Structure 1
Amino acid sequence: MSTLAPIGIFDSGYGGLTVFRSIADKLPDYNYIYLGDNARSPYGDHSFETIYKYTLECVEWLFNQGCPLVILACNTASAKALRTIQQKDLPAKHPGKRVLGVIRPTAEVINNFTESKEVGVMGTRGTINSKSYLLEINKFFPDLKVYQQSCPMWVPLIENNEHLQPGADFFINEYCNELLKQSDEIDCILLACTHYPLLMPKLKAFLPDHINILTQGEIVANSLADYLQRHPEIETTLGKGGQKVFYTSGDTTVFDGHASIFFGEELKSSRM
Structure 2
Amino acid sequence: MNIKHSIGVFDSGYGGLTVFKSIAEKLPQYNYIYFGDNARSPYGDHSFDTVYQYTLECVEWLFAQGCQLVILACNTASAKALRSIQQKVLPVKYPNNRVLGVIRPTAEVVGGFTSSKTIGVMGTRGTVNSESYLIEINKFFPEVKVLQQSCPMWVPLVENNEHLDPGADYFVEKYINELLDKDNNIDCILLACTHYPLLIPKIKEMLPENVSLLGQGDIVANSLVQYLKNHPEIASKVGVEGKKSFFTSGDAEVFNTHASIFFGADVVSERISLNIR
Q: Which aligned segments of 4 or more residues in structure 1 are displaced greater than 4 angstroms?
A: none
Unmatched 5+ stretches in structure 1 = none
1:193-247 residue CA offsets vs partner (Å, 9 max, x unmatched): 0000000110001111111100000000000000000011211111111000000
Runs of 5+ unmatched residues, structure 2? 273-277
Partner of 1:255: 255
Alignment-derived partner of residue 234 in structure 1: 234
- AA aligned opposite 2:153: M
Q: CA deviation at 1:3?
A: 4.1
Does residue 216 of the first structure (1) align with residue 216 of the second (2)?
Answer: yes
TM-score normalized with structure 2 length? 0.97
Per-residue CA deviations over 1:122-164 (Å, capped at 9, x if unaligned) read 0000000000000000000000000000000000000001111
Residue type at the aligned position of 2:212 = N
Q: What residue number does 2:169 align with?
A: 169
Letter in 2 for 1:118: T
What is residue 132 of structure 2 aligned with on the other side? 132
- Residue of structure 1 in register with 2:43 after alignment: 43
TM-score normalized with structure 1 length: 0.99
CA RMSD of aligned residues (A): 0.8
C-alpha contact (below 8 Å) 1:4/1:31 kept by paired residues? no
Written as runs of structure 1 = structure 2, the 5 A alignment for 1:104-183 is: 104-183=104-183
User: Does the CA-based 8 Å contact 2:3-2:237 persist in structure 1?
Assistant: no
2:13 is paired with a residue whose SS is: coil
CA distance in 1 between counterparts of 2:185 and 2:150 reads 19
Which residue pairs with 1:12 in the alignment? 12
Alignment deviations for residues 150-203 of structure 1 (CA, whole Å, 9 cap, x no partner): 000000000001111111111110000000011000000000000000001100
CA contact (8 A) 2:106 2:220 kept: yes
Amino acid in structure 2 at the alignment position of 1:36: G
Distance 1:62 1:129 in 2: 28
- Secondary structure of the 2:270 match is strand
Identity of aligned residues (%): 71
Give distance in 1, aligned partners of 2:237 and 2:4: 9
Supply the AA of the counterpart residue of 2:19: V
Shift of 1:4: 3.9
